[in-house]
Structure 1
Amino acid sequence: MIYPRLDRVQQLLLSIALSIPSIACHAYSETDLFSDIPEIVSATRISQDISEVPVSTTVITQELIQASGALDIADLFKLVPGFQVYTPNANKYAVTYHGASGEFPRNLDVRINGRPVYIPLLSTVAWNTLGVSIHDIQRIEVVRGSNVPSYGSNALMGAINIITKTPIDQPSSQITTTVGAQGKRDITTAFNGKVNDLYYRVSLGHEQNNGFDFQQDGENLNLGNIHLVFTPSLYDSIDFTAGFNNGAIVIGDGGNQGELREFQDREHFSHFQHLHWSRIIDEKNELNTQLYHNYLELKTQSFPTSELLNDPGLIQLNGQLAFLASVMGNTYPFASTHVSDFNVNTSAENGKTETYGAEIQHTFSPSNTFTLASGLGLRYEKASSIVLLGHDKTVDEEVYFIFSNAEWKQTEKLSWNAGFMSELSSITKPSNSIRFASNYKLTNSLTLRGAITQAFRTPSLLEENGQTAYIFPEGVPYDYVSFANDNIEAEKLNAAELGIFWLFPQQSGFLDLKFFNERISQGLDNWFYEGPIDIKSAQQKFAGATLNDEVRELRNASNRKSRGVEIQASLKPTDKDLIHFAYSLNKLSGIYRRGSYPGKSDQRYDDASPRHTATLLLNHRFTPSLDTSLIFNYMSDVTWLGSNVKESYKTTDLKVSKSFHLSHNRQLTTSLLVKNMFDQQYSEFQIKNLYDRRLYLTMTLDF
C-alpha cells in the first residue's frame, strides 16, 4: 500500500483538522473566501485557486519575498514546507525536497516563466547562472510533490515555476543596492517603458562577495535580462524574454579537510531566449505556444599532471613504467613505457551544454465544470565535456512528449483531476506517468483532497553518458574513475497524499495539512566494482594488492521511502500583520547498495534527510512607511550525501524597512537585515562553512 500510514502525531493533527467543520460554521461569500487566495497554474497547467489544486502547493508572493529577508533566490525556498536549502560552497546552492540529496540535487523541475532551466550536463540547477536576480521575481509557484504528469521527468519530487515581473505589472523603474557581510556588494537596476502596444522591462545587475572566511569562496558576476510584452489585439499576447549571466564563483570540497588548495574559480557564461504566445480563440478555447533556448559554458583551471603528482617531468612515473615493463615482459598491459605531460581539470564542473525546446498547449473549457489542458512538445539537449564524458565529442538527446490534464467539477462539492505525461527519448526507454486526484468541500471553507501518482524519471544526458578517466596522450591510463552504463532504467515513484485545506476569511489566510507516503524504487546511484588495469592498479598490485583499483558506474541500486506530514499556514490577523508558517516531519528510510568492491558496504538513507524543518515568519507594519520582520528557521540533524557534517541549526533573522517619500513618483526604501541575530554558529555541507551573525544594508529607489 502506498497510502499514508499515520503515526500518533499525524493522527492527532488529522483529528484536530477534521473537527474544524464544527468550528467553521459561519457562512462566507465567495468574495470573502477567495479574495486573498492565489491562483495556481503550475500544478495541472489549468488555472485553479490554491484550494482546488490536486496536490500540495505553495505560492511565494511578492509580499513574502519582501518580508523574508532572503538575499538570493534559493533562500526563498526555506519558506516552503518539506524543502531544504544548503550551500556546498558559499555561492553554490542546493535546493531539495524531502532530502536524500547531495551537492547536485536532481529531482526538482525548475522553470522561469515556464522555461525549463534544468542543466542536463550536471543533472541539476545552477542557481547562480539563471540570468535573473531575486529583484526580478514577482512570485514563485512551488508544487510540493511529484509533478511529472504536468512537466515531465525532472519533476519527480516537485516543480518550481519562477514568475518574473512584467513591464505591465511594474510600470515604475528601480535601482537596488546591497552591501554587508562577506564583502557583499550587489546592485540591480530595472527600467520599464512602453512604445505603442509594446511594453518593455530591462534589468541589469552585478553581484559580488568574498564567501566564507576560511575558503574565500566568493563570487563575481554580471547579469541582465529583457522582457518584452506585445499585445496586438485583445485576444493575443506575445512575451519575449532573453538574458545572460557571466562571471565566476569559487568551488571545492577542501573545506572538509581544511585544504585551501582544492578550491578554484569556476567561470560560467550563460544566455537564454524565450518566446511565448498566448491566444484566446474564444471563451472556450485558448492556445499557448512557446519556444526557448538555453546555453551554458563552465570552465575551471587545469593543472599539469606532473604538478598534481608532484613529479617534475614525470621522471619518477616513467621510471616506474620502465621497471614494470622489464619485470612483466610480455604481460606488460600498457601501450607505451613512456608518457608525456598533459593538463587535467580537477573539478567536474567543466563543459558546454545547450537546450532547445518547443511546446504547444490547448486549453478547452466546454463548460464551467470541465477543463482539459493538452499538448505536445519536444526538447533537444546536447553537451560536451572531457571531464564528465571522457572525450571531446558532443552527446545529445531528443525528447518528445505529450501531456493532458483534466479537471471535472462533478458537483459543487466534489471535483476530480487526472493527468498523464508520455515521454519518448532517443537514448532511453519511453515512460508514462499518471496522477489521479479528488477534492471534496466539506464546507465553503474546508476542503479535503487525495491524490495518487505513479511517475518515472528517465536518466539525464549526463547519467546516460557520464564517464571519467585520466589517460596520457600515449593511450596509457593513469586512473579509470567511472564508466557509462547503457542498461540503466528510469527511477520509479509511487506516491500518495491526503490533504486538508482550511480557509480563514476573517484573517485573509489559510491552513494546509499534507500527509504523504512516497516510495522511490530503481533509484540511480553509484555501484563500485574492480576496474580494468591502469597505472594506479599496477602500482598497487606491485606493492602486494590483489585487486585492481575500484571504478564506479550508475545503476538502479537504491530504494527509499518517505512518510510524514507538512503544515503550511498563512494568516493576516490584522491589515498590519502577516504570519507565515511552514513545517515538515519526514521519516526517510531506505538502502543504497554500493556494489561488490571490498569496503563498499551498503548504506542507509535514514540520516540523509532532516526529520524536522520549520520556518516562522512574523511581519508587522508599524506605519505605512515602517515595517519589521522576524524570521525563525530550524533544521534537525542531517548528513547530506557526500557531506561529513551532521548538525542541526536554528537561526533568527531580523529585517527592518523604512520608506521615504521623495516626490510624487519617487520613493527610497532602506532595509537593515541581521542574519543569525543571536550568532548561533553552525555548518551545513562542509565543516569550514561557518555561518555566524551577518549584517546587510539594502537601499531601493523607485522612480
Structure 2
Amino acid sequence: MRRINLLWILLNCAVAIPGLFNAAYASYTDDLFISDDALPEVLTATHLYQAPAAVPGSVSTIDQELIEASGARNITDLLRLVPGMLVVPDSSNLGTVNYHGTSPGQARRLQVLIDGRSVYRSAFAQVDWSDLPIALEDIQRIEVFRGPNTVSYGANALLGVINIITHSGKDTHGTLIKGNIGNNGIRDSYARQAWHSTYSDMRLSISSLTDDGFELRKDGSDFRDSRRLSRFNLRANHQLNEQNSLDWQLAFKEGSNQINNNYQSAFAGKINPQPWEQDSNSDEQAKDYAASLRWNSNINAQHSLSVQTNAQQWERLREWRACDAQISFSSELNELWRTSSFAQRERLRRLKPIGNPSARQAVLQNWLIGQLVQPGALAHSCGLINENSRESRFDVEVQDTYSVSEQLRLISGLSYRYDQARSASFLNGRERKDIFRAFSQFEFYASEHWLLQGGGMYEHDSSNGDSFSPRFAVNYLVTPAHGFRAVYSEAVRSPDMFENHADWQYRVKDLRPAIAQNSNADFFISAQGNGNLKQEKIRAFELGYNGYFAPQKLSFDIKIFNEKITRMISHRPSLISFSLNNDDHIKFYGSELEGNWQATEKDRLRISYAYIKDQASNSLDQNVTPAHSGSLAWLRNWNADWSSSLMFFAAEQLNQNDLQLLTARLSRKFQLGSTRLQLAGSLQKTLNNQPIGRTNNKDNSHDTAYATVQLEF
C-alpha cells in the first residue's frame, strides 16, 4: 500500500479546522447543533451517556446502517472499519481481533462485551468470535473505546473495549426472515419475532451460519476450516413502574468448527521418517450458554441505580486420534522430561544428551539410549487425545449514578466475579478465581468550556493480587459538539489461568496396540506454569480532538497517542517450549483519524486511518503491527428502492504481507402489500491475494459472493 504522508494530513487539518470552527461557533450561537441535529451519545467510555466531544478518549461507533450496508457475515469484518484495529484470520473460522498489535493469534488485551456482559474467556485469554451467541441482525450498534479502560471494565481492558449493543425488545417490531446463499458453501439463515404488550416487550431470534472454510494450502489442497453453528437469542424488557424496569436475556450457541490437524510426532524425522497414521477428524464441538438480568431504578431525575448479574458457560469438546513411538508413553521418559530444565528439554526432544544430568537423570538417560538401539524401537501406537475444556462464570455488579449538581456527576459501583475452568489436558483438573472490584468516576464542568474527568478502579484478583487503575482527562469544549482532550490512563491485564497455572499433558486413551497390556498412558512431553506471573501494565497518553459540524453533517476524530506495556507476557502456546515470564515490553506511538460525512441526502462517506510505530523487546511481537492501515466506505441510497455500498480496507505489512480488500453490496427493496422484500448481492474480494494469517497457506477468505433474501412483515 502506498505510504500516506502523515505530516501532510495533519497540516491540511490544521489549515481546515480554523475555518470549520468559525462556522461551528456561528452554528452554535444559532442553536443549530441541538435543534437541527441532536448530538449523538456514547456509553462505553465511562458507563455515562456522553457527547463524543466530552468523552475521555476515542470512541468509534459502527451503527446499524453500516452493519447492514457492509454485507458482513462476521463481526470481525465490521471491526476493520475501526482505525488501528487488526483483524487477522488464524484459520478462517478462528479469526482474531487486536488493537495496535501484539499476540496476533489471540485477543489477550481487549475486553469484549455483549450488552455489558463480558465474553472474554479468562481461562485461555480468548474471544471466540465465530462462536458468540449473537447474530449480526440482532446488533443495534458496536461501540469501540480505543485505549486503556480498566478504570471502567477491569483487567483485560488493557488496550480497548468492544461493546456490542443489541436491539431491545421495544425497538424491534414484527417478523423478519433472512437467508444468505453463496460460494464456499455459504448457507445462512435468520428469523426474528417481536411481541409487545402494555408493559413488556420481547425479541426472539434463531439463526444459523454455515460455510466450507476459505483457506487452501500452497499446493491447492483443502485446509480444514469449515464451520456449522446455530444460535438462539431471547431478550425481554419489562417496565415495572415509572421508576423501575427489568431487562433480561437468554442466549445459546452450538456447532462445530473444523480444526486442521497439524500434529507431528515428537520423533518425526529422527527415528522414523515415515508419516504415521493420524485422525483427519479433529473437529471441535462448541456450546455456549449465557443468561443476564438487569434491574434499573430511576430514583429521581438526579439519581439512578442499576444491578446486573450474568451467568455463562463455555464448552469446547475435541477428541482425536494420533500416533507416536511407544517409548513416548513410558514412565521413565515422563520422569526424565519433568526433571529436566528448559535447556535440557530442548536437547532431549532432539534425542541428544541433556548435559550435566543428575544421578537419577543419568540413569534414565542411559535407559533411553538402551531402548533406542533395541529391535522394535520404531514401533508406535495410536491413541485418543482429549482437548476438552469447560469454563463457567458468574458475576454481579451494582452501579450508582448521581448528579450532585448541573456541573458534577458521579458514578460508582461494586462487583464480584467468579471464574472456573476445567480441563484434564490443559489444567490437570480445575482452576478458579474470585475477583472483587470497586470503581468510581467523576465528570465535573469547571466552566462552560472546561470539563475535568477522573476516576479509578481497585481490583482484587485471588490469582493475581491487588491492582489500582486510574484515569484522568481534561476536555476543552469549544462548543458542546467540539472538544479537545488530553488523557492519561493506566490499565492492567491479568495472566489467564492457563498462562499462570498450566499443567499441560496429554493422557492418551485407547492405545492401539496397547503397551504392556495397558491401553491408557501419559505422553511424555508436558508443560507447567510457574504460578508467579504478574499483571501486565500499560501507561498511555493521548491528545485528541472530536468535532461535529451540523450544517455540513460532518464528524471526525483525531488522536495522537503514546502507549507502553511493561511486564509483558509474550508467547505462542507450545507444549514443547512453555516458558513464560514478565520480561518483555512494547511501546506504541502514532496517530489515528476517523471521519463520517453525510455528503448529500443520498451519499454517506466514511474514512479511517491509523499510523502506528512499535518498539518490541520480543521477536514474537515484532512485524505484526502495520505502520499504515485504514478504510474507505461509500454508502448511497439511489432512490427509495435501490441502495449500494463500496468499502476498501488496506494494511501495510501485516504479518509481512499487505492487505487490500474490497467489498461491494447492491440491494433493492420491494413493498408487497404489508410485506417488505429485500434482495441483495454481496461481493468480497482480496485485490492482492496475500495471506495475512497463516503465511504458509493461501488465504482466499474474502473471495466470496453471496445473495441475500429478506422478508419483513
Fold match by TM threshold 0.5: yes
Write out aligned runs for 1:666-677 (5 A). 666-676=675-685
State the shift of 1:18 in Å: 5.5
In structure 1, the residue matched to 2:76 is: 74
SS of equivalent residue, structure 1 residue 162? strand
| 2:211 paired with 1:209 | yes
The root-mean-square deviation of aligned C-alpha atoms, in Å, is 3.2
Q: In the alignment, which of 523, 543, 551 is matched to residue 498 of structure 1?
A: 543
CA 675–476 in structure 1, closer or farther in 2 if over 3 Å, else same: closer
Q: In the alignment, which of 274, 282, 301 is matched to residue 319 of structure 2?
A: 301
| 2:401 paired with 1:354 | no
SS of equivalent residue, structure 1 residue 66? helix
CA contact (8 A) 1:36 1:508 kept: no
Identity of aligned residues (%): 27
In structure 2, the residue matched to 1:248 is: 256
Paired amino acid for 2:652: S
In structure 1, the residue matched to 2:229 is: 221
- Could you give the per-residue CA deviations for residues 60-117 of structure 1, whole angstroms, max 9, x where no partner exists? 1111111222111121111111111121112112011001122212111111111111
SS of equivalent residue, structure 1 residue 396? strand
| 2:491 paired with 1:455 | yes
Q: In the alignment, which of 705, 708, 712 is matched to residue 695 of structure 1?
A: 705
In structure 2, the residue matched to 1:140 is: 142
SS of equivalent residue, structure 1 residue 92? coil
In structure 2, the residue matched to 1:383 is: 421
Q: In the alignment, which of 632, 639, 651 is matched to residue 635 of structure 1?
A: 651
Write out aligned runs for 1:428-439 (5 A). 428-439=464-475
In structure 1, the residue matched to 2:119 is: 117
SS of equivalent residue, structure 2 residue 475? strand
State the shift of 1:671 in Å: 0.9
State the shift of 1:527 in Å: 10
CA contact (8 A) 2:425 2:507 kept: no
Write out aligned runs for 1:187-586 (5 A). 187-212=189-214, 214-252=222-260, 254=262, 264-303=282-321, 307-309=322-324, 311=325, 314=326, 331-333=362-364, 343-345=383-385, 350-389=388-427, 391=428, 393-443=429-479, 445-470=481-506, 478-526=523-571, 551-586=577-612
In structure 1, the residue matched to 2:33 is: 32
Provide the rounded CA distance (Å) in 1 between the counterparts of 2:25 and 2:451.
22
Paired amino acid for 2:292: H
Write out aligned runs for 1:3-42 (5 A). 8=7, 12=11, 15-16=14-15, 19-20=18-19, 21=21, 24=24, 26-28=26-28, 29-32=30-33, 35=37, 37-42=39-44
State the shift of 1:340 in Å: 11
Provide the rounded CA distance (Å) in 2 between the counterparts of 1:255 and 1:31.
64
In structure 2, the residue matched to 1:540 is: none
Provide the rounded CA distance (Å) in 2 between the counterparts of 1:343 and 1:295.
29
SS of equivalent residue, structure 1 residue 40? coil
CA 453–425 in structure 1, closer or farther in 2 if over 3 Å, else same: same
CA 505–464 in structure 1, closer or farther in 2 if over 3 Å, else same: same
CA contact (8 A) 1:58 1:144 kept: yes
SS of equivalent residue, structure 1 residue 161? strand
Provide the rounded CA distance (Å) in 2 between the counterparts of 1:435 and 1:701.
47
Count of matched residue pairs: 647
Which stretches in structure 1 are left out of the alignment for 5+ residues?
1-5, 530-548, 593-602, 640-645
SS of equivalent residue, structure 1 residue 247? strand
Provide the rounded CA distance (Å) in 2 between the counterparts of 1:583 and 1:253.
37
CA contact (8 A) 1:336 1:476 kept: no
Provide the rounded CA distance (Å) in 2 between the counterparts of 1:255 and 1:701.
46
CA contact (8 A) 1:78 1:85 kept: yes
| 2:189 paired with 1:171 | no
TM-score by length of 2: 0.85
State the shift of 1:477 in Å: 6.3
Provide the rounded CA distance (Å) in 1 between the counterparts of 2:478 and 2:190.
47
- Could you give the per-residue CA deviations for residues 608-641 of structure 1, whole angstroms, max 9, x where no partner exists? 21111111110111101111101011011122xx
Which stretches in structure 2 are left out of the alignment for 5+ residues?
217-221, 265-274, 337-352, 372-378, 510-517
CA 620–681 in structure 1, closer or farther in 2 if over 3 Å, else same: same
More displaced, 550-559 or 380-389?
Answer: 550-559
Provide the rounded CA distance (Å) in 1 between the counterparts of 2:108 and 2:459.
18
Provide the rounded CA distance (Å) in 1 between the counterparts of 2:42 and 2:295.
19
CA 476–551 in structure 1, closer or farther in 2 if over 3 Å, else same: farther
Provide the rounded CA distance (Å) in 1 between the counterparts of 2:405 and 2:166.
31
SS of equivalent residue, structure 2 residue 425? helix
CA contact (8 A) 2:385 2:506 kept: no
State the shift of 1:605 in Å: 3.4
In structure 1, the residue matched to 2:103 is: 101
In structure 1, the residue matched to 2:628 is: 612
CA contact (8 A) 1:215 1:255 kept: no
Provide the rounded CA distance (Å) in 1 between the counterparts of 2:332 and 2:415.
56
State the shift of 1:288 in Å: 0.8
State the shift of 1:525 in Å: 2.4
State the shift of 1:24 in Å: 4.6
State the shift of 1:11 in Å: 5.7
CA 173–527 in structure 1, closer or farther in 2 if over 3 Å, else same: closer
In structure 1, the residue matched to 2:340 is: none
State the shift of 1:154 in Å: 1.3
CA contact (8 A) 1:528 1:550 kept: no
Provide the rounded CA distance (Å) in 2 between the counterparts of 1:230 and 1:104.
38
CA 492–660 in structure 1, closer or farther in 2 if over 3 Å, else same: same
State the shift of 1:183 in Å: 0.7
CA 215–108 in structure 1, closer or farther in 2 if over 3 Å, else same: same
Paired amino acid for 2:545: I
CA 492–630 in structure 1, closer or farther in 2 if over 3 Å, else same: same
- Could you give the per-residue CA deviations for residues 282-331 of structure 1, whole angstroms, max 9, x where no partner exists? 1111001001011011011232xxx421x5xx389779989x9xx99975
Paired amino acid for 2:240: P
